[in-house]
Structure 1
């Protein structure tokens, strides 16, 4: 988590692009095409936590899944992009970590060219901190003092400084049996504190990460670029988004699918949501029964600014794990298993 105010808050040009890139990782090398399989016309958007790993432990089914995604030479058979809301680690470090865990080379996205945007003063929130109370105090000080916490103001300014947040996940899955509080829970605390102190609502200049359309549009571009690097001439028409969190992964994929139905630009025509049961969502999870996503009585875990549309929480497919998800996709696309 990074909190920036006037005293230390003039962030470099390209802020929005960096916020989006913090949520997207590109998987796979630029291998030469091999084998007799026709070029793929589909691509995979894979979540990480709860789909590939639980904390530092690889989910065995994820390793099995890549047996179907890699050819005998260890080359990806289809374009794959890892899309995660976690922004507390650099792309290069995450790529190295995934490479060691999955057993093949994962490369980070290449930085985009910088544009000449004017400097902005405000607050950038990327992920839940270790010491919540200290960070909540610091961010509140910056907002209530208009970026000058050393001086203080008699009246809290409103509108306050711009606030950008990436990752609104209320929960995420690590090694523990129960879900862990995510950055969305931290934002909920910040919103409640600000409202309690000022009587006003905290306003976000923008939200990135899943389920925002901005993240999925960026990921679609990475899939197309990866296909071009591999020499696959066929356009990527169908996207399959695999995740464990109904609110971020399923909601976002369905929202993007609706968006694609109304757009003419770009090659993609569909984005199917696939929900796995190895993370936040799991019918056999300990504790009281949880209503199915989108059903009557199910709690809304999304951020207030995204609104609640129950139909977007309904996954196109619910499977046990990534292995089953990959087999489902390959069968639907008519590829040999």
Structure 2
């Protein structure tokens, strides 16, 4: 018996570069139940698909925690899988780290396993948010207590655990519109040929702090950015309820780059002037808004809804004009150059320290769409529907965000492998990304998005649900619609999720 044990130990240590493909086991993580599906190809069918229902069932297993112990893959090997993590409810709970989150990320980084953070949150510049997350998760501290900079880590031949290269928040995809206005509509990077970009066009931005949002947009590279405060300060009559003009908006307003083209009515600078003609649409003289971006939850809904609906009704984006065709049954065709709206997040509700959910940006988007439905023809497609062509919804579960996330993950995977040798980098051509484990706490966004996403590269997005956030296991089963979007696995927390995925892939899970 002793000789046999020695022989097994020798075989394990002698072949460290060959991962053992072992069947993942059910486990219990900490004091939370762990539930996993053992069959590799077993998956739940997303709601609304024509695929046959899976024969698998998620059932709790009451047994002690067990882990397979594969040998360590060589550092130069190319992982055929990667991870995408939600933040709130997965890595953090009310800004405090969830136990095991930092250890899981460090373990993936140690083995050069690519991952990104994919959140519907926003409102801050990505670099600032990454620094804050590093601090909260304890990923940036050396023994001296100083923050480890990305430059320092890269100079040592390693990428940091977290950086802007593997971080995607709700409005990060807006950057793709700098040079390609159709970038977010395309299934693959590059968009449509000749679509142009918005880098040098005037854009309108809003959010919880419009002044800070303007700065973020400028840091992205947009050269001409205006806010509702700028418009209100220049034309107070555009919103006749102005008790907040001096106390709130005056301090953040900037002069508009160009005046508005006031078409007809008592606001026209020259009421007796000649009738409006298409030749008046001159963006070298008058302000034209090419696109409007909602970065995060606005505060002054009334002002923002007024200005956004004005922009939607304007001729070719010239605020101050009115195009009757915008309200017709067909609406404005894309060829007319009307302003497009981009909402970075469609979450109707979100969890805070208050005991009941609060309205999110999705509620504001619904309010804009509701007002528009009262103005436009009843035969016109709803504003937020893909058929309207006027508004784009981003954030999980929408496909545009998952397309952007996959492109980001592929770029990060290549840079991560390149940082560890050209051999690993060149191997990516022969080892495509097969699986992305989407670990989230919200069935309606994280899980639904992963289940419904169809990768242009054939990558399988495997959904894993944790119990540390929105999902409430006590309510599962009480209502058949509560968990409409079934995950591949339900586990207690993020550490358990990563262990389940690593065991499924035959990689070390000893953290």
> Under a length normalisation based on structure 2, what TM-score does the superposition of the two structures give?
0.48
Moved more, 127-136 or 109-118: 109-118
Corresponding residue for 1:277? 467
Corresponding residue for 2:272? none
Corresponding residue for 1:87? 122
Pick the aligned partner of 2:164 from 101, 108, 111.
Answer: 108
Instruction: Give distance in 1, aligned partners of 2:313 and 2:413.
Output: 48
Corresponding residue for 1:229? 415
The alpha-carbon distance between structure 1 residues 318 and 145, as it changes in their structure 2 partners (threshold 3 A), is same
Question: Structure 1 residue 164 and structure 2 residue 342: aligned?
Answer: yes
Deviation digits for residues 147-169 of structure 1, max 9, x if unmatched? 566x5759683226432322112
Alpha-carbon contact 1:145-1:156 (below 8 Å) kept: no
Larger Rg: 2
Alpha-carbon contact 1:277-1:319 (below 8 Å) kept: yes
Moved more, 92-101 or 114-123: 114-123
The alpha-carbon distance between structure 1 residues 145 and 324, as it changes in their structure 2 partners (threshold 3 A), is same
Corresponding residue for 2:496? 324
Instruction: Give distance in 1, aligned partners of 2:323 and 2:503.
Output: 65
Corresponding residue for 1:250? 447
1:274 positional shift: 0.9
Alpha-carbon contact 1:50-1:173 (below 8 Å) kept: no
Query: Could you say what secondary structure the match of 1:60 adopts?
Result: coil
Corresponding residue for 1:42? 81
1:82 positional shift: 1.0
Alpha-carbon contact 1:50-1:172 (below 8 Å) kept: no
Alpha-carbon contact 2:165-2:412 (below 8 Å) kept: no
Question: Structure 1 residue 208 and structure 2 residue 394: aligned?
Answer: yes
> What does 1:11-90 align with in structure 2 at a 5 Å threshold?
36-37=74-75, 38-71=77-110, 77-90=112-125
The alpha-carbon distance between structure 1 residues 298 and 193, as it changes in their structure 2 partners (threshold 3 A), is farther
Deviation digits for residues 177-231 of structure 1, max 9, x if unmatched? 4433221122112222222344543244432222222322222222222222232
Instruction: Give distance in 1, aligned partners of 2:98 and 2:301.
Output: 29
Instruction: Give distance in 2, aligned partners of 1:316 and 1:101.
Output: 29
1:36 positional shift: 3.7
Deviation digits for residues 42-64 of structure 1, max 9, x if unmatched? 10011112212234222234234
Q: What is the Cα-based RMSD across aligned positions, in Å?
A: 3.2
The alpha-carbon distance between structure 1 residues 124 and 335, as it changes in their structure 2 partners (threshold 3 A), is same
> Under a length normalisation based on structure 1, what TM-score does the superposition of the two structures give?
0.69
Instruction: Give distance in 2, aligned partners of 1:165 and 1:195.
Output: 17
> What does 1:281-320 align with in structure 2 at a 5 Å threshold?
281-284=471-474, 289=475, 296-298=480-482, 310=484, 313-320=485-492
Instruction: Give distance in 2, aligned partners of 1:320 and 1:176.
Output: 23
Instruction: Give distance in 1, aligned partners of 2:314 and 2:404.
Output: 35
1:101 positional shift: 1.7
Corresponding residue for 1:10? none
The alpha-carbon distance between structure 1 residues 129 and 276, as it changes in their structure 2 partners (threshold 3 A), is same
Instruction: Give distance in 1, aligned partners of 2:74 and 2:403.
Output: 31
Q: Which runs of 5+ in 2 are unaligned?
A: 1-71, 140-159, 167-174, 181-195, 202-288, 333-338, 418-423
Corresponding residue for 1:124? 293
Q: Which runs of 5+ in 1 are unaligned?
A: 1-33, 300-309
Instruction: Give distance in 2, aligned partners of 1:221 and 1:90.
Output: 20
Alpha-carbon contact 1:65-1:324 (below 8 Å) kept: no
How many residues in Structure 1 have an aligned counterpart in Structure 2? 274
